[in-house]
A = this chain, B = another copy of it.
Amino acid sequence: MKGKLVASVEEAIRLCGLKDGMTVSFHHHLRDGDGVLPMVMNKISEMGFHDITVSASGIHGSHGCLVDLIKNGVVTGIDTDYISKVVGLSISHGSMDRPVIFRTHGNRPHAIAVGESPIDIAFIAASAADCQGNMNGVSGPSAFGSMGYAFADAAYAKKVVVITDNLVEYPLTPISIDERYADYVVAVDSIGDVNGIRSGITAVTQNPMSLEIAKKAVSVFENSGLFEEGFIYQTGGGSISLATTKFLQAAMDRKGIRGSAILGGTNGLLVDLLEKGYFRKIMDIQCLDLDAVESIKRNQEHQEISAACYADMLSKSCVAKHLTCVMLGATEIDLDFNVNVHTDSNGIIRGGSGGHTDIAHGAKLTIAMAPLLRQRRSAVLEHVTTKSTLGDSIDVFVTQRGIAVNPKRPDLRSRLVDAGLPVKEIGELYETARALAGKPDPLPFTDKVVGKVYGYDGQLSDVIRQVDESKAAV
């Protein structure tokens, strides 16, 4: 049984030759339940290392330890696709000297592969592994489903440590990532709490206004000319996005059509559509609840794909390039249709592109949705606080007060007008919201850049500035 097994995370860190200044990486499939990033980073801190860069496909609620590790200089760099609120607040308040690098789920594996975002040691949580490092995410008590984000880390990190709480006899099958890439394997008591996978993903809304937005968004798709047999579909994980599913199903029944594939992030609602025959396949980068985990484990029509296969727009092709329609949330949108999903209304980092920017670019029809007002602040601004997804990737913006079509899509606008949908100019929505909410106070940014936002193509879209804590609204 020995193989590449080592006794502890500490031993693996030592054997990999970690040094100050290096980059270590993680994947976030366990989301708010992930135990591996804290386990490894706290050990790295305990061992006295400093100046470490954390490359992670996402930083979630279980990664709050990073706040202290940043404070004491253990972590001095972050390269990620998403940062949730606790760590985001710390960074927005200026805790780091080097700006955080924000990438997209599709561009991250590209940047890793071509050496723009090199990784010294990848720590890969696996729900099952053998002593040689063959691994998957579908077997064992901590099964989290697709390992999509971890493929690039495994393939390109100089050293790879597999961390599992379910060490099985050699050889493991099915294999998601094979032993060629593994240097060390560590068996631990727990890689995390699978109940944390779901958290952070909102439940389907019961709010009538949100349901109205979702319903309108589906009407937009239905009348877009693209609602045809064999379409390929994706929704974001927000409450309104998820609510589109129900209306979509009804629309498919009305027209008597079926879709080719759902591109996931997948949850039970989408699995249900697969099982009922509304779609033939699910292509999946991450499972967002345990129904999805169960499905990818037993259903051959539910396929694990790597993040690069999901959405690397610089590769020969990827599934996201073939999307017919995506339904996406937006924290803010501006008069040029740029969307912000990085920073909150107070300017604080609370999110990131994830796949937003990739799939918005890839889809033939990209629908952004938001309530016109949130906590008395308009969703439509003259300029978004952070340009996460550039306006040329957004075709339509749907609110409860009307639908705005990007001027670059006059064809689409005509269709929606003809269908009797309440099409307005984005400027009208802006004025309506402004009349209700007033002009927002400028956010108390300093000149210090705390984050750099890169798009699906690896180009800089925007920077995020420090929020002056003393002047910030609570």
Contact = CB atoms under 8 A, between A and B. Distances in A.
A42 interface: no
A271 to B, nearest CB: 15
A317 interface: yes
A408 to B, nearest CB: 24
Interface residues of A, number: 39
Interface stretch (A169-177, A337-345, A439-447): A169-177
A318 interface: yes
Contacts of A26: none
A173 B309 contact: no
Nearest to A184: B316
Interface in A273-310: 280-281, 283, 300-303, 305-306, 308-309
Contacts of A175: 303, 305
A280 B169 contact: yes
A261 interface: yes
Contact of A281 (B171, B261, B281, B303): B171
Interface in A130-189: 132-133, 160, 169-171, 173-175, 178-183
Contact of A300 (B174, B181, B309, B322): B174
A232 to B, nearest CB: 8
Contacts of A261: 170-171
B260 A179 contact: no
Given A180-B309, A305-B178, A309-B180, A317 B171 contact: no
A79 interface: no
A312 interface: yes
A14 to B, nearest CB: 18
Nearest to A4: B317
Nearest to A159: B316
A220 B325 CA distance: 63
B309 A171 contact: no
Contact of A317 (B132, B260, B305): B132
Nearest to A169: B260
A322 B131 CA distance: 11
A414 interface: no
Interface string A225-265: 00000101000000000000000000000000000110000
A319 interface: yes
A316 B171 contact: no
B309 A179 contact: yes
A202 interface: no
A8 interface: no
A119 to B, nearest CB: 15
A210 B319 CA distance: 53
B301 A170 contact: no
A303 B281 CA distance: 22
Given A169-B230, A171-B322, A180-B312, 9 more contacts: A3-B317, A170-B260, A170-B261, A171-B261, A171-B319, A173-B283, A179-B309, A180-B317, A182-B316
